[in-house]
């Protein structure tokens, strides 16, 4: 398909418009990068000046753990439960206890 002279006339008229559109498209990429860079700088400055939220403190290597003591407590509790079951003593617990509030005064 050949380009006719009438088509060339239309193309020459639109040439300035097309050139501007392409220049705007090229500049849009750099503007987007510039805005992103400014946002990163703003966030970094905000993080530097803002008070950060305290994080949960974890046990460090210098923390003392009494594993033997906790194991002996568990053993004592289980032996007490076993003694109660052996003696035939069963503790009564009311399922309704603590669920009702008397507001009559």
User: Quick one: pLDDT at residue 75?
Assistant: 65
Cα gap 63→57, rounded to integer Å: 12
3-class SS at 4?
A: coil
Spell out the per-residue pLDDT of the chain, length 105, in tens.
787 888 888 888 888 888 899 999 999 999 999 999 999 999 999 988 888 777 777 766 665 555 666 666 666 766 666 555 555 666 777 777 777 777 886
Q: Which residues of 65-97 are buried (b: 16+ CB within 10 A; e: fewer)?
A: eeeeeeeeeeeeeeeeeeeeeeeeeeeeeeeee
User: Quick one: pLDDT at residue 24?
Assistant: 92
User: Quick one: pLDDT at residue 31?
Assistant: 93
**DSSP category for residue 65:** -
**DSSP category for residue 57:** P
User: Quick one: pLDDT at residue 5?
Assistant: 80
Within 13 Å, how many C-alpha atoms sit on residue 50's CB side?
A: 9
């Amino acid at each position: 398909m050949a380009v006719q002279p009438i088509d060339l006339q239309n193309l020459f008229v639109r040439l300035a418009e097309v050139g501007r559109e392409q220049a705007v498209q090229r500049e849009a990429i750099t503007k987007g990068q510039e805005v992103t860079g400014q946002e990163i700088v703003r966030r970094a400055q905000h993080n530097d000046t803002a008070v950060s939220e305290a994080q949960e403190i974890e046990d460090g290597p210098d923390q003392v753990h009494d594993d033997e003591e906790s194991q002996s407590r568990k053993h004592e509790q289980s032996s007490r439960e076993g003694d109660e079951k052996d003696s035939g003593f069963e503790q009564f617990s009311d399922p309704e206890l603590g669920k009702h509030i008397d507001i009559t005064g």
